[in-house]
Amino acid sequence: MRLRGLGLLLWAVLCLGVRGADEVRLATYNVENYLLSAAGNRVAKPEAAKARVAEILAGLRADIVGLQEMGGLEGLEELRERTARLGWEYGHWEHVRGWDTNIQVALLSRHPIVARRSHTGDAYLVSGRRYRVSRGILEVDVRVGAREVWTVFVVHLKSRRPVSHADQAEMRREEARILREKIDHRLRAEPSARVVVMGDLNDTRDSEAVRMVMGRGRGRLVDTRPAERRGGGGAVEDAGGRNDARSVTWTYFYGVKDTYDRIDYILLGPGLERAWVRGASYVPVLEGWGVASDHRPVVVTVRTGGR
């Protein structure tokens, strides 16, 4: 265990780099059914998979992490304990139990949470039928400096899995609309608010759902679009680039269609766009990523005090 911990620390230093004192490292990670026991039609996560998730999280050295497909609060506590044993502690957390009682969204933070405004009761209509937003929308304020507070949303929109009673894409669009309303509400209350939206949007950037979350005009969010680093280390190929086909940006393997897609995002509000450190934002190249999850994490670095 001690040698493994030293190895993780060395990997973090060599591959992730040492960030400045004024930088905050953000990450989002769908941990694929992190369940301690079976729930519904989902099985308990195997020990090897849980151990690899913890190793990846500890190695990322992120200050604030959004998690999707987290099981109950006891699962989040177990994951916190695992990462702490590997040398990376999270003293603050939020766990949101939504309409889907099997998998939820959560947040781990090394910075204090100073306000909690998470949402679990939202609903919408599709073809005259009422549906609940499956996973809650996590919203917290995190103090990242002596005077700086960031509003962080963590989300997991409706999956692309077809359902018999409605169109899955339309359901996802409605969830995206509700999320965007909450982002707009925050920006109307404080136009200069530093906003981060992270999570599994379950769609590609050209989709109506993602475009709806991004928004328009002054409140439009910035898609950081991290990519793999060249050779797994060194400079980022094209962080934030729009159309470079050589940038490897996928975050999820979709087995139904045998495709690799980018459906996990870290989006920044206008108040953080200039503070974004493009060269320290990337999709990590990880050995055994598929043991841990069918998703890869996304990492974005942002400076404090910058606009």
pLDDT of residue 14: 46
In a domain, 306, yes or no: no
Instruction: Count CB atoms within 10 A of the CB of residue 117.
Output: 14
Q: Shortest CA distance to 78 belongs to which of 100, 102, 101, 54?
A: 54
In a domain, 218, yes or no: yes
pLDDT of residue 237: 47
Instruction: Count CB atoms within 10 A of the CB of residue 297.
Output: 28
Instruction: Count CB atoms within 10 A of the CB of residue 107.
Output: 28
Q: Shortest CA distance to 55 belongs to which of 111, 22, 10?
A: 10
pLDDT of residue 73: 96
pLDDT of residue 256: 84
Q: Which domain covers residue 73, as residue numbers?
A: 20-298
pLDDT of residue 231: 57
Q: pLDDT tens digits, the chain, 307 residues: what are they?
A: 455 545 554 545 444 556 666 999 999 999 999 999 998 899 999 999 999 999 999 999 999 999 999 999 999 999 999 999 999 999 999 999 999 999 999 999 999 999 999 999 999 999 999 999 999 999 999 999 888 999 999 999 999 988 888 999 999 999 999 999 999 999 999 999 999 999 999 999 999 999 999 999 999 999 999 999 865 544 454 444 555 667 899 999 988 889 999 999 999 999 999 999 999 999 999 999 999 999 999 999 999 986 5
Asked if residues 68 and 27 have their Cβ atoms less than 8 Å apart, the reply is no
In a domain, 156, yes or no: yes
Question: Residue 24: helix, strand or coil by DSSP?
Answer: strand
For the chain, give me the number of helices (H) and strands (E)? 6, 16
In a domain, 12, yes or no: no
In a domain, 2, yes or no: no
Distance CA 85, CA 164 (A): 45
Q: Which pairing describes strands 149-156 and 194-200: parallel, antiparallel, or unpaired?
A: parallel
In a domain, 114, yes or no: yes
Asked if residues 107 and 66 have their Cβ atoms less than 8 Å apart, the reply is yes
In a domain, 92, yes or no: yes
In a domain, 4, yes or no: no
Axis-axis angle for helices 73-85, 47-60 (nearest 10) = 60
pLDDT of residue 164: 84
Residue with tokens 């087995």: 255
pLDDT of residue 19: 62
Number of alpha carbons in the 13 Å side-chain half-sphere of residue 90: 26
pLDDT of residue 234: 43
Using CA atoms, how far residue 296 sits from 47, 102, 251, in Å, is: 19, 21, 5
Distance CA 289, CA 106 (A): 20
CATH number of the domain to which 146 belongs: 3.60.10.10
**Domain tally for the chain?**
1
